């Protein structure tokens, strides 16, 4: 099993068509377990005091303190459809969290008759007497239409520098053709205000037949997203089918091609769509073939690893590694799989206030890990 995993990593490095980057050994890191016993943790967000909010896909929100103690479940979390890829997914803090205490959650929302869809809700985090709850929970976004599927919810939440909220969605697997039409939010990046209203400068506001919250389209299943601090622009990473995982820069109104163009093939081995290029459709910044199953995305800005400042890190599920990408502007100059010896599915990656990298591993005994320099740190 390990041989197959390592082989897939080697193939991914070859097919990504960029040279190898600086080696993990040259940087010198060690991995510490901060907390364990988490049931399929999915997303995390640092509170101002250094504690972490962590979601568990089964429908629990936890607070992990700086000593690694995991709290009882936070009350007031929305009901979720927990099955396969569905459940409680990402978590983000309001840009003015210090003033308003608002926490945002994305999740698979049950809609009745076996259907579900991605939704986003927000509530105010209140802590008293050792307990925590979300007050005034309000749904601010509902993906349309609902679908009878337990796959491809997308679901990363990213606040832009202007305070707008980006929500990534998936095509729900069986609804992939809808990723190319604008009358739905399947296979889209959505841009909304913090209260769920639609910004007046969204690209399809006033377009007949288009939902105004759509920012970009033609996506398959975006499970990683982050703002590039060098430009203030959103980057995303999405799952391909059998190959064709993509890093994209989803600018306003752009069509990223799925399922018309892709670098992957269907799970049956058959061709998908028309090929890899088509006029009017965007090319990815980078792609993997075979797939590494990317999830979680971070631009590193800290001081703990100065040699990594400005580099991009992405968790790999099937690839069981931390993808390290060196950038040259909007291009990937080098790619290197890190932490392959962990043999863990890495679901999310964040930078802590201490400059360390924090990872969530995807299992029923999931862990919160901390990556620091091998000496010091």
Enzyme catalytic residues: 152
What is the H or E stretch that residue 137 is in? strand 131-142
Question: What is the number of H-type helices and E-type strands within the chain?
Answer: 3, 23
Place of tokens 């972490």: 52
Cis peptide before 44 (omega within 30 of 0): no
Smallest CA-to-CA distance from 228 within 164, 296, 307, 311 is with 311
Which residues touch 297 (CB under 8 Å, ≥6 apart)? 156, 224, 225, 226, 235, 236, 237, 312, 313, 314, 315, 349
CA–CA distance, 199 with 212 (Å, rounded to integer): 8
User: CA geometry: angle at 358 spanning 139 and 297, to 5°?
Assistant: 60
Q: What are phi and psi of 331, to 5 degrees?
A: -120, 155
């Amino acid at each position: 099993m390990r041989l197959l995993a390592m082989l897939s990593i080697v193939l991914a490095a070859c097919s990504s068509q960029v040279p190898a980057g600086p080696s993990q050994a040259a940087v010198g890191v060690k991995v510490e377990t901060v907390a364990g016993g988490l049931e399929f943790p999915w997303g995390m967000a640092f509170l101002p005091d250094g504690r972490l909010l962590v979601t568990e896909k089964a429908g629990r929100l936890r607070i992990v303190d700086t000593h690694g103690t995991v709290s009882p479940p936070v009350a007031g979390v929305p009901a979720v459809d927990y099955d396969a890829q569905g459940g409680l997914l990402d978590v983000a803090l309001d840009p003015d969290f210090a003033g308003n205490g608002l926490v945002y959650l994305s999740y698979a929302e049950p809609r009745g008759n076996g259907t579900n869809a991605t939704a986003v809700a927000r509530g105010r985090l209140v802590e008293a007497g050792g307990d925590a709850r979300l007050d005034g929970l309000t749904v601010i976004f509902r993906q349309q239409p609902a679908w009878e599927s337990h796959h491809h919810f997308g679901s990363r939440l990213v606040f832009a520098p202007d305070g707008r909220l980006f929500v990534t969605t998936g095509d729900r697997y069986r609804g992939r053709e809808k990723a190319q039409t604008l009358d739905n939010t399947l296979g889209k990046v959505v841009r909304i205000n913090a209260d769920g209203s639609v910004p007046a400068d969204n690209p399809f506001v006033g377009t007949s037949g288009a939902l105004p919250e759509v920012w970009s389209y033609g996506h398959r299943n975006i499970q990683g997203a982050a703002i590039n601090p060098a430009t203030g622009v959103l980057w995303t990473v999405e799952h391909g089918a059998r190959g064709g995982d993509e890093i994209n820069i989803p600018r306003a109104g752009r069509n990223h091609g799925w399922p018309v163009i892709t670098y992957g093939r269907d799970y049956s081995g058959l061709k998908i769509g028309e090929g890899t290029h088509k006029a009017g459709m965007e090319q990815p910044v980078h792609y993997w073939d075979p797939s590494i199953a990317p999830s979680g995305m971070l631009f590193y800005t800290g001081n703990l690893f100065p040699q990594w400042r400005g580099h991009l890190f992405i968790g790999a599920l099937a690839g069981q590694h931390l993808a390290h990408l060196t950038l040259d502007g909007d291009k990937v100059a080098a790619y290197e799989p890190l932490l392959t010896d962990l043999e863990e599915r890495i679901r999310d990656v964040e930078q802590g206030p201490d400059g360390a990298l924090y990872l969530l591993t995807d299992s029923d005994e999931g862990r919160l890990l901390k990556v620091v320099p091998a000496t010091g740190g």
